[in-house]
Amino acid sequence: MLDRERDVALQAVRLAASVTRWVQDGPSLGSVDKKDKSPVTVADLASQAVICRMLDEAFPGQPIVAEEDSTPLDKPEILAGVLAATDAVGAAMTEAELRRSIDRGGASGSPERFWTLDPIDGTKGFLRREQYAVSLALIEGGQVVLGVLGAPNLPPRSGLTGEGTLLWAVRGQGAHQSPMSADVVEPISVSTADAPDRARLVESVESGHSSHDHSTQIAQRLSITAPPVRLDSQAKYAVVARGEAELYLRLPTRAGYREKIWDHAGGVIVLEEAGGRITDIHGRALDFTHGRTLANNRGVIASNGRFHDQVVQTVAEFDFPD
């Protein structure tokens, strides 16, 4: 079940990861600020273009909900950079093809089946040459059924060699990882730590993404003594899924903000299939039936599942903007 979808998704994310690495290894990352002041780079656009084109060729007409659009290509230096990046990995496109592929990600969702893509989750981490991820997921009937995370700067574990890590999961089939450049595959699973005082916490590098002050206070109440590890992107889901941390908190920082589905879908299924648990701060399952945002949820709590309810109860002691 979903074998073809899985294979296409893995191939697409692996190619997108190679194009992001090509850009990151170059002299300039080529970024501009969007209307919301968040950065978008040549690599974001090239990644979205190659993935959307591959999905469109394999599954014509299926909706794709992705983060970017082709507007930044109006800047000649950005257009030239994206054309060069796609050409460098053997996915050359004309300007028209490039714009069409990027804008295939403009769907608002579907009640039946759609893909959701974050071509670079953690763009600021990418710009710092730290952690970032390419995240692709398939959603059917409001449930994430397939997810792939490409983390080019996240080392493989368990003695596997290679640069970067590819993680993926299909609903009901467990979670797996392999080095980005190799075909060696291993299953992954969450840690067995069964009490908060044994937990390791991961959170966003950017305080605008999650309240660091609240995280510190919650960790203290849970008797978590290990210092938090701060990572950009859905690499946080990855390290919890493979047992290198037990808890990921993404706590609301401002009223009215709702999480984007592409920021979580791929990581959610990888962690769930590895044995973990994900809810919002109120203990509700994440609801992917409301278009481009998790409109019915506030924040995210992701854990190895052993003491999740205790974390939810502790978080409930704090007031967060709605």
Q: Pull the structure tokens for residue 163.
A: 């640069």
Give the up-direction half-sphere exposure of residue 6: CA atoms within 13 A in the CB hemisphere: 16
For residue 243, CA distances in Å to 61, 193, 200, 275, 280 come to 38, 9, 10, 10, 21
Is residue 7 annotated as part of the catalytic site, yes or no? no
Alpha helices in 154-241 (DSSP H): 212-221, 235-241
Give the up-direction half-sphere exposure of residue 170: CA atoms within 13 A in the CB hemisphere: 11
Q: Are 21 and 152 in contact (CB under 8 A)?
A: yes
Q: Which of 20, 44, 86, 314 is catalytic?
A: 44
89-127 burial by CB neighbour count: b if 16+ within 10 A, else e? bebebeeeebbbbbbbbebebbeeebbbbbbbbbbbbbb
Q: Which residues pair with residue 166 across a beta bridge?
A: 150, 178
Q: Which of 41, 123, 253, 314 is catalytic?
A: 123
Q: Pull the structure tokens for residue 299.
A: 């924040």
Is residue 44 annotated as part of the catalytic site, yes or no? yes
Q: Pull the structure tokens for residue 64.
A: 């794709």
Residues annotated as catalytic (active site), given as ranges: 44, 123
